[in-house]
Amino acid sequence: AVSSAQDFDFFYFVQQWPGSYCDTRKSCCYPTTGKPEADFGIHGLWPNYKSGAYPSNCDPDSPYQSSTINDLIESLQREWPTLSCPSSDGNQFWEHEWEKHGTCSESVLDQHAYFQATLDLKNKINLLQILNDAGIKPDGGYYSVSSIKDAISKATGFTPWIECNVDEGRNRQLYQVYMCVDTSATNLIECPVFPRGKCSDQIEFPPF
Ligand code: 5GP
Ligand code: 5GP
Ligand code: 5GP
């Protein structure tokens, strides 16, 4: 389908902490390529409206084609690992993200550009380093959401959103970090709207 104007207002660039994906009741499965690094991984780059709503599955005529991103596969395996079960090599996760979200920004980014831009964002924002420099480490300790947000805001210049989930013991923990990006997928911006969802004042940063 041909879409004339870009039909979204900004992107959420979402990274996940693998320790928090894996220590839940549901647990996780490592990719067939091996246990990922103890680092934040990409979840996705999601077109969004400033109303808070978002488009999805915009173009059934643009299926995921791994052959168009052969040169990116090694980087994707390292920076965008899949942790869902059963184990897979990542293509299912990238396919899902392309078809659900990537097809909604096709007017600006073709498939290769979409994955390349997302990898570039990951390389520009080293969350683990930023948190580590602020004394916030994946050591199973508890940290205030405000201290986590302050560290990221000071280092990047932009306010993130923190999504929590719960571990097997029902403790709230640092699960995902949302940053907002302009429609060219290159520059961070202040979020026009934040997602919803509850954390607590202090959240766990579990090891992976
Ligand atoms: P959950 O319900 O687990 O928060 O999100 C499920 C899926 O819905 C996400 O993986 C993502 O694809 C989509 N989603 C949830 N919240 C948002 C949002 O605020 N913006 C966009 N673009 N997608 C979202
Ligand atoms: P969303 O729809 O929220 O963008 O993506 C969630 C979908 O991707 C789910 O169907 C989930 O099973 C799949 N998925 C595969 N690997 C991962 C992963 O490492 N993290 C998350 N959050 N979802 C994954
Ligand atoms: P405030 O805007 O006063 O910082 O926060 C308003 C409410 O939103 C408080 O309940 C606070 O805990 C919550 N909140 C603030 N920032 C975040 C965030 O990044 N993630 C989540 N889940 N809640 C937040």
Q: Best of 46, 84, 164, 179 to mutate for ligand 1, by most ligand atoms within 8 A of CB?
A: 46
Task: Check if 82 has its Cβ closer than 6 Å to any atom of ligand 1.
Answer: no
- pLDDT (tens digit per residue) in 14-65: 999 999 999 999 999 999 999 999 999 999 999 999 999 999 999 999 999 9
Terminal C-alpha separation, the chain? 42
pLDDT at residue number 26:
95
CA dihedral 153, 106, 5, 54 (to 10 degrees): -50
Task: Return the ligand 3 atom nearest residue 163 CA.
Answer: 22
**Please, which residues have CB within 8 angstroms of residue 53's CB and are 6 or more apart in sequence?**
none
Task: Name all domains of the chain by residue range, CATH numbers in brackets.
Answer: 10-204 (3.90.730.10)
Tell me if ipTM is over 0.85: yes
Calculate how far, in angstroms, residue 198's C-alpha sits from the geometric centre of ligand 3.
8
Q: What is the pTM of this model?
A: 0.96
DSSP character for 103? Answer: G
Confidence of residue 6 (pLDDT cuts 50, 70, 90): low
pLDDT at 1 over 50: no
